[in-house]
Structure 1
Amino acid sequence: MWRFIKRLFLILILANILFVVLGIFFNPPITLTQLGGLIKYGKLQRDYISYDDMGSNIKKAVIASEDQTFFNHNGFDYKAIEKAIKKNDKKGKVVRGGSTISQQTAKNIFLWQGRSWFRKGLEVVYTFIIEKVWGKDIILERYLNSIEMGQGVFGIEAASQYYFGKSAKDLTKSQAAWIAAVLPNPKKYDPKKPSAYLNKKHNWIMRQMNNIVLK
């Protein structure tokens, strides 16, 4: 029994190493989050594209919305985490997250959705690894290709086609900001039917995009 457990543990480690290495060259065939969307909504609208084909507006919009220090941190934004903890303690519940794009990528590609400490611990490990092995461009490409952008809609190319009928590289600044505005709750918000909150967030993202410099 102990020998079986050791072999299984070794296989899991080797499989994870292989998955990380392959991730340098390929987007994931499917993620657990995408599989969940397929089961729940009966569709998987997704179209992987290269980093260069994404265009600058959507990159700036998502970075402005989700992680403005993306190119400067080592995978973790400690100031954002501290602010999130303070705000959540004040409200008595989780109302704000402090996850970076790198952390969200680790979760979306390798793990599952949830708030358990076990999953969070694995997320930290994977974040550290992909920051060292993949680098920023690959992390951002994998993130923008795999992130949930609507009900059964994943990745910014599928979102661009779904919401505006065009490729991500052709999005205007405003259109890119609308897509980014649905994060981190794309199942709730819809750019086609924007609430007052979504309008406010869209305008904020538009202003913040002026401060984002792609590297």
Structure 2
Amino acid sequence: MPAVDPEPDMAAGRVRAGQGRRGWVRRIVVGLVVLAALPFVLTFLYILPFVHPVSTLMLKDLATLQGYDRQWVSLEEVAPPLLHSIVMSEDGQFCSHYGVDLRELSAVLTDAMEGELTRGASTITMQTVKNLFLWHRPLGSVRKVIELPLAVYFDLVVPKHRIMEIYINIAELGPNIYGAEAAAQHHFGKSAKNLSRREAALLTAALPNPILRNPAKPSASMRRIANIIERRARNAGDYVRCLQ
């Protein structure tokens, strides 16, 4: 019998392998494009008042079978002292900036270049897009690069009133506790609309570290922070004009 030349089979195999690799690359590229486009598409959906978005942390709680407590409320169902406390503590220029506080961001960059300890420059809008679309840890610097343009876009499309409404319903305020209503019920046994100025300040003081800070059992340092927040909230005035 004549000998069979293996070269054509080997060549065909290499072609198929190359096509298979290119197919996987295309799928990966398409998947990344879809992920990148998703926040821009969902942003328009989230403008609608009857849509109640969930955060990436809430999705993580579901994926790990922990579950979470979140009870959606409108902005009008939240005590004004809580809204004032959050603005004056987290983002005093919320009503006037365009998603990013350029003055605060510039100060942080200057401190970083001079080797000094940096403070946070995240606006409420930045925190909202992070909670809705991005991860928390690790690679925080990489996330910030994505977060900044997303915040500008989100602020351009979504009214300030709605941004705050989404934020106070997805912010983490305890282990598996999200939003003002669930937090008020969990920590103080009352609705968010009935929170006192002191309770609002304590809830706000917990925002930077809600896992370790318990508004119902505040430490001495947390009480001092709440005192400052409560004082600032009383003088919120024009800083909260976009929420009135």
TM-score by length of 1: 0.87
Tell me the percent identity.
32
Structure 1 window deviating more from structure 2 (149-158 vs 53-62): it is 53-62
Q: 1:18 aligns with which of 17, 41, 62?
A: 41
**Residue 57 (structure 2) aligned to one of 33, 39, 62:** 33
CA RMSD in angstroms comes to 2.4
Residue 111 (structure 1) aligns with: 134
Give yes or no for the alignment of 1:101 onto 2:124.
Answer: yes
2:3 equivalent in structure 1: none
Q: Structure 2: where are the runs of 5+ without partners?
A: 1-21
| 1:1-12 equivalent positions in 2, closer than 5 A | 1=22, 4=27, 7-8=30-31, 11-12=34-35
In the alignment, the residues of structure 2 paired with residue 45 and residue 128 of structure 1 have an alpha-carbon distance, to the nearest angstrom, of 30
Aligned-partner Cα distance in 1 for 2:209–2:106? 22
2:122 aligned partner, one-letter code: S
Match of residue 162, structure 1, among 180, 186, 192: 186
1:105 corresponds to which letter in structure 2?
A: T
2:59, 2:43 → 1: CA distance? 20
The Cα shift of 1:71 comes to: 0.5
Which residue type is aligned with residue 179 of structure 2? G
In structure 1, the residue matched to 2:174 is 150
Q: CA shift at 1:41, angstroms?
A: 8.9
Name the counterpart of 2:234: 210
Q: Give the CA deviation at 1:188.
A: 1.3
Max radius of gyration: which structure?
Answer: 2
Alpha carbons 1:38, 1:152 under 8 Å: kept: no
C-alpha contact (below 8 Å) 1:41/1:152 kept by paired residues: no
Find the aligned partners of 1:185 and 1:41 in 2 and give their Cα distance.
Answer: 22
Residue 49 of structure 1 and its aligned partner are, at CA, apart by: 1.0
Q: 1:89 to 1:33 in 2, by over 3 A?
A: farther
- The residue number in structure 2 matching 1:60 is 84
Other-structure match for 1:171: 195
Aligned counterpart for 1:139 among listed residues 163, 166, 173: 163
Structure-2-length-normalised TM-score = 0.78
SS of the residue corresponding to residue 98 of structure 2 reads coil
Count of aligned pairs between the two proteins: 211
CA displacement, residues 83-124 of structure 1 (integer Å, 9 cap, x when unaligned): 444279324xx6x31101010001001111034333112211
Q: State the secondary structure of the residue aligned to 2:131.
A: helix
> Which one-letter code corresponds to 1:23 in the other structure?
Y
